[in-house]
Amino acid sequence: MAENAADDPVVETVQLTKIYQNRHIALNDVTLKLERGCVLGLLGANGAGKTTLLRLIIGLHRPTAGVAKVFGEEMSPNSAELRRRIGYIPTNPRFPKGMTPISYLDYMAKLFGLPRDVRKPRMGMLLRAVDLLGAGGTQIDTFSNGMTARLAVATSLINDPDLLIWDEPTHGLDPEARRSMLDLIKGLSREKTLIVSSHNLNDIDEVCNHAAVLSHGQLIYSGPLHDLKSRMRRNHFEVDVDGDQKAVTRALATIKALGDVQHVSLEHRRLNLRLQEDAVATATLGQVFQVLSEAKLTLIGIRSVGQQTEEAFLDLVEKEEQRGFTRIYRQAA
């Protein structure tokens, strides 16, 4: 096994393109670099091309054009040595019929060429770590979603990989299982390089330090996560007020007339406030509070309304398309 220079990026794709059956462009010209120790959140709506990208990186697919390099070497379906250093979890992992966690893990460890005196102790340790020691001899067919997810985690760690590629690991999990999955990712991120895909920004937000966003096979953003978040400005607020009903109605009319306010509505004592796309939130909110204060209304509370993540994405995607993603893309690269 060739140990590469430490400064080689762990994953590097150059103009990676995948066209299915000469008809469907699933991934288009994706150039991406992932340094050692990064935790990359791969974001994108369903069908954006996340799985396609990950399968190209692990060598399950062959690129139509471009290359995917892992640890400085080109990945191909026959790159067994490269895959020895990668731990992969597909979306909704499935298991062969009639196997138990012990027999399955042993099989997977053999597929890495791990000798018996390495794989046996590791199996026990991992089963304990994912809390499946008691179920080690039970048929996998009878497992819950959470249990199969934990088994998939153990499987992806059996070869002590340097790079983990997890495709939607929180998909289909109940809140408790999702919680422990995220904690696990946080723990592992201290010593491994990770790529975690999700269509849920909240998950990525919690565990990743880098982000890449795919939309219709295009990479529209790649870079630090906080830069991405600053692009998704919040412009939707709820303001709870107390005071004379007439004064509230009057204030509402005045706020409606403010230039940067796109939409405002009243629901009991709650103002629903949506600012223009390019409004400076602090300035506009300053004006709104001015109006409220002049109307002698009491402020009870203000909240920025969290967009549904799915919605936030589409928003971001739309915005970037309008601005021309090439500019963003060059910046990020």
Partner 1 sequence: MASPASTVKLHNRSVAPEPEPTPVAYQAWLPYWAVLEADFLQVFSSWVYRSWILVAATMAIGLFIYRWGLYNEAKIIQPASHVITHLLRGILMGSVALVGVIAAGAIAGERGSLADSILSRGISRYQYYLGKWHGRLLAILLGHVLLGALTVGGTRIILHEDVTLEGGMVAIFISGAALAVVVSLGVMMSAMFARPLAAAAGLWVLLYAAGLIFGAMPHSIPTPEWILQKLPFILKGEYTREMVVQVVLYAGGASIGSAIFGMALFARKDL
Distance CA 249, CA 251 (A): 5
Find the shortest distance in angstroms from Cβ 167 to Mg ion.
Answer: 6
Find the shortest distance in angstroms from Cβ 127 to partner 1.
Answer: 11
How many amino acids of this chain bind partner 1 (CB under 8 A)?
56
Of partner 1, Mg ion, ligand ADP, none, which one does residue 48 interact with (CB within 5 to 8 Å by kind)? Answer: ligand ADP
Taking residue 213's Cβ as centre, other Cβ atoms within 10 Å add up to: 28
Q: Are 83 and 76 in contact (CB under 8 A)?
A: no
Q: Kindly write out the interface string for residues 94-113 of this chain, putting x where it contacts partner 1 by CB under 8 A and - elsewhere.
A: xxx-x--------xx-xxxx
Distance CA 80, CA 234 (A): 46
Per the rule left: phi > 0, alpha: psi between -120 and 50, beta: everything else, 317 is alpha
Torsion of CA 178, 179, 184, 185, to 10 degrees: 70
> What single DSSP character describes residue 4?
P
- Mark the segment that binds partner 1 (CB under 8 A) among 67-75, 178-186, 196-204, 229-237: 178-186
Q: Is 92 in the site for partner 1 (CB under 8 A)?
A: yes
Q: Is 115 in the site for partner 1 (CB under 8 A)?
A: yes
Burial class (CB in 10 A: 0-12, 13-18, 19+), 331: exposed
Those residues whose C-beta lies under 8 Å from the C-beta of residue 131, and which sit 6 or more positions away, are 150
Of ligand ADP, partner 1, Mg ion, none, which one does residue 314 interact with (CB within 5 to 8 Å by kind)? Answer: none
Nearer to partner 1, 188 or 255 (CB): 188
Nearer to partner 1, 64 or 307 (CB): 64
Of ligand ADP, Mg ion, partner 1, none, which one does residue 47 interact with (CB within 5 to 8 Å by kind)? Answer: ligand ADP
Of Mg ion, ligand ADP, partner 1, none, which one does residue 128 interact with (CB within 5 to 8 Å by kind)? Answer: partner 1
Find the shortest distance in angstroms from Cβ 48 to Mg ion.
Answer: 8
Of Mg ion, partner 1, ligand ADP, none, which one does residue 69 interact with (CB within 5 to 8 Å by kind)? Answer: none
Find the shortest distance in angstroms from Cβ 215 to partner 1.
Answer: 23
* 56 phi, psi to nearest 5 deg: -70, -40
For residue 208, CA distances in Å to 186, 205, 224, 246, 263 come to: 8, 6, 9, 48, 34
| Closest to 236 in 3D by CA, of 298, 292, 281, 283 | 281
Q: Is 198 in the site for Mg ion (CB under 5 A)?
A: no
Q: Kindly write out the interface string for residues 121-160 of this chain, putting x where it contacts partner 1 by CB under 8 A and - elsewhere.
A: xx--xx-xxxx------------------x--x-x-xxxx
Torsion of CA 196, 197, 201, 204, to 10 degrees: 0
For residue 102, CA distances in Å to 117, 165, 265 come to: 15, 22, 60
Structure tokens at 230: 């600053």
Q: Tell me which residues in 40-59 interact with Mg ion (CB under 5 A).
A: 51
Query: In the beta sheet, which residues pair with residue 40?
Result: 195, 210
Query: Residue numbers of the site for partner 1 (CB under 8 A)?
Result: 1, 55, 58-62, 77-81, 83-84, 86, 88, 90, 92-96, 98, 107-108, 110-115, 118, 121-122, 125-126, 128-131, 150, 153, 155, 157-161, 180, 183-184, 187-188, 190-192
